[in-house]
Amino acid sequence: LIIFILVIVLALTYRQNTEKLKPTFIARCEEFKGYDCEKIWSAFEQAYVGQDPCNVSMGAYDPLIAAAPFRPACNRMMFWSKTKKVVHDFTEKRDCFLTLEDTLLGSVLDGLTWCGKEGSSKTFTTGCPGWTDCNNNPVRSFWNRASAAFADVACGDVTAMLNGSIITPFSPTSIFASIEVKRFNSTRMRSLNVVLVTQESTVTNCTNASLKDLQKELDEGIKYNCKEVAESQIQECSSNPEKPCGACW
């Protein structure tokens, strides 16, 4: 009997897991008006369905990016690295900035896991490779591709929230350093404004060695600024919507 129940439970979990991604995708997509979410789903699916889950390249998502292109939001674009929570607590509550995760594609896929399997037309949400299990996994390649496309349209004064509680706030292996900064273009961008988020336990400031590397990476024409800002000050701005964006730091 125990084995029987176990088999039923496993079968049900399996069914749920293979069928859960699309409804979530469509529901989140429909929060954005004026898009054909079924068409965007098809463009998404074609990237990884039937593929070896360790052999999905960034390029596989080109049709998806074309189906839901990023629109430039000059002076409001926010990049981040190792500051996911504080950034999104802020952008959720205030309209000052736009992160990748606030765009259609970013918000639809945030926190989700997916992959295909050779010889199958299904989408799987369990048994998929983890972020570092192999380089060309469907989830990692999506975030790499989407980040590249988001950085391609960065314009005007751009902000980046980096983590002042770690020794290397600008880490060469991060998406921000390895993909986004490399695509910042001075014909569209005026400046990069680093907000170095500090806590009591802060170990770095704007003179940090990795931030020197960041400056070197930037195009000649892009001005660089850095400001140390206490996390509590950012949280205060998140919870006080009457405070103007420009007065947050």
Site residues for ligand AVW per CB under 6 A: 79-82, 84, 100, 131-132, 147, 150, 174-176, 180
Q: Tokens 């509550």 map to which residue?
A: 93
- Tokens at residue 205, please? 């400031």
Q: What is the nearest approach in angstroms of ligand AVW to the Cβ of residue 54?
A: 15
Nearer to ligand AVW, 6 or 209 (CB): 209
Compute the distance between CA of residue 249 and CA of residue 241 in angstroms, rounded to an integer.
Answer: 14
Nearer to ligand AVW, 52 or 110 (CB): 110
> Nearest to ligand AVW by Cβ — which residue?
131
Q: What is the nearest approach in angstroms of ligand AVW to the Cβ of residue 64?
A: 16
Nearer to ligand AVW, 225 or 240 (CB): 225
Nearer to ligand AVW, 40 or 100 (CB): 100
Residues 6+ apart with CB under 8 A from 226: 193, 194, 196, 206, 211
The neighbouring-strand residues paired with 156 are: 189
Q: What is the nearest approach in angstroms of ligand AVW to the Cβ of residue 7?
A: 32
Nearer to ligand AVW, 122 or 227 (CB): 227
CA pseudo-torsion sign 89, 92, 98, 101: positive
Q: What is the nearest approach in angstroms of ligand AVW to the Cβ of residue 100?
A: 4
Containing 238, the helix (H) or strand (E) segment is helix 231-239
Q: What is the nearest approach in angstroms of ligand AVW to the Cβ of residue 81?
A: 3
Nearer to ligand AVW, 6 or 110 (CB): 110
- 178 and 212 in contact (C-beta within 8 Å)? no
Compute the distance between CA of residue 47 and CA of residue 213 in angstroms, rounded to an integer.
Answer: 34
Q: What is the nearest approach in angstroms of ligand AVW to the Cβ of residue 19?
A: 24
What count of Cα atoms within 13 Å lies in the side-chain half-sphere of residue 165? Answer: 10
